[in-house]
Amino acid sequence: MKIKCFAAACLLLHGMFSYAQESDKDFVKGADVGFLTSQERQGQKFYDVDGNERECLELLKNDFQMSAIRMRVWVNPRGGMNDKNELLVMAKRVKALDMDLMVDFHYSDSWADPAKQPIPRAWQNHTFEEMKQDVRMHTIDVLSLLKENGIMPRWVQVGNETTNGMLWPMGQIKENPEQYAGFIRAGYDAVKEVFPKAIVIVHLDRGHRKDIYDQNFDTILKYGGKFDMIGMSLYPYWAMENHPELKADDIITDCIKNIRYVSEKYGCDVMIVETGFEVNEQHPEIMEEGRRQLTRVVNEARTETGGHCRGVFYWEPQCRPGGYKLGAFDNHGKPTAIMDGFIEGKGKKRRTK
């Protein structure tokens, strides 16, 4: 789809503004740790590679060069998991460590992803205009709580993996593209109302699939949506599970190509906001392969994208394999070899066992 001249000019200015926001910052390495609070409540402990007990965020920062944390937030979750109050508790810990914060709005009472984007219970039976107001007010409410506590997120995601739209069925991209773009715009404007300098991300899955990025972002722009940065998920494991003919290295290669492509087409920076690799303690070679792949992702995101990939976030690295197979810690709460993929430069650690 060709972008009209006026839209292209707007995109160029938009992209220049986005680049200016990020140009003075280093490449970011970070983690999504949305499960951490509940893990700690259950008494789980975390240890460094030498077996010393450590606070998880401090361990990620000081041993694995992470400078940012990503946290999801749900609307009215049962039990309070991932609600705005839990977000605030974690955000204070992030600030105390002088790390940057990314807020990931799911606009749901639970998980939102390409397979499901359920409308929150409190928003059921609302009209499109009412739902846009719901998005706006929820976004302002959550971000205002952070602002009142002296916390400014560096990035805010408006929706989570909205490849097929959001707030279904009203905001499904194929059936109701204009309404999908309207929800994105409502979230964008709400973020800027509270934090004008925050970088607003629209996040899709399958970073190796150029076609879905063309369709989604062309739709957003056609119907008046806005964004500052594109977020990608990159999971070779899941991609190969659905398409066994694919190879991990080809998926990574295609994702890096897609980063270069969309950054040029849409005039904005890109972030790999989710990635992960398999932990299998019975087969150390699997984790060594995960380390190799993550090392490649980090290195090429930094050096092979013309400076337009601004970082890589690992999704729930602190999870133990009994609960989530693509974490990066073992069942004893220690980092596996996968985590070494984040360590760059002189003094890079290597495991001897």
Token pair listed for 299: 């290195």
For 81, 183, 216, 333, the CA distances from 227, given in Å and listed in that order, are 28, 12, 12, 37
Q: How far apart are CA 290 and CA 324, in angstroms?
A: 15
Start-to-end C-alpha separation, the chain: 52
Token pair listed for 212: 């879905």
Q: What average pLDDT score do residues 325-338 get?
A: 97
Contact predicate 275/311, CB 8 Å: no
For 259-262, the CB contacts below 8 A with 24+ separation are 259/207, 259/232, 259/301, 259/305, 259/308, 259/309, 260/304, 260/305, 260/306, 260/308, 261/210, 261/213, 262/210, 262/213, 262/217, 262/230
| pLDDT band per the 50, 70, 90 thresholds, residue 242 | confident
Q: How far apart are CA 56 and CA 299, in angstroms?
A: 24
DSSP helix/strand/coil, 81: coil
Say whether pLDDT at 1 is over 80.
no
pLDDT digits (tens, 9 = 90+) for 175-226: 999 999 999 999 999 999 999 999 999 999 999 999 999 999 999 999 999 9
Q: What burial class does residue 242 get, using C-beta atoms within 10 Å of its C-beta: 0-12 exposed, 13-18 middle, 19+ buried?
A: exposed
DSSP helix/strand/coil, 335: strand
Any idea what DSSP says for residue 113?
B
Any idea what DSSP says for residue 352?
-
Nearest Cα neighbor of 158 from 225, 86, 111, 85 is 225
Q: How far apart are CA 118 and CA 110, in angstroms?
A: 8
Q: What angle do CA 247, 314, 49 make, to 5 degrees?
A: 105
pLDDT digits (tens, 9 = 90+) for 39-72: 999 999 999 999 999 999 999 999 999 999 999 9
Token pair listed for 272: 């790999």
Say whether pLDDT at 353 is over 90.
no
- The average confidence (pLDDT) of the chain is 92
pLDDT digits (tens, 9 = 90+) for 75-88: 999 988 999 999 99
Q: What angle do CA 129, 214, 270 make, to 5 degrees?
A: 90
pLDDT digits (tens, 9 = 90+) for 122-178: 999 999 999 999 999 999 999 999 999 999 999 999 999 999 999 999 999 999 999
pLDDT digits (tens, 9 = 90+) for 90-129: 999 999 999 999 999 999 999 999 999 999 999 999 999 9
Give me the pLDDT at residue 345, please. Answer: 75
Give me the pLDDT at residue 26, please. Answer: 84
Q: What average pLDDT score do residues 258-284 get?
A: 97
Token pair listed for 264: 């040029």
Is the whole model's pTM more than 0.85, yes or no? yes
> What are the chain's domains?
5-342 (3.20.20.80)
Give me the pLDDT at residue 349, please. Answer: 53
Give me the pLDDT at residue 17, please. Answer: 42
pLDDT digits (tens, 9 = 90+) for 3-19: 433 344 444 444 444 43
Beta strands in the chain (DSSP E): 28-32, 46-47, 53-54, 68-73, 100-105, 155-158, 199-204, 229-234, 269-275, 309-315
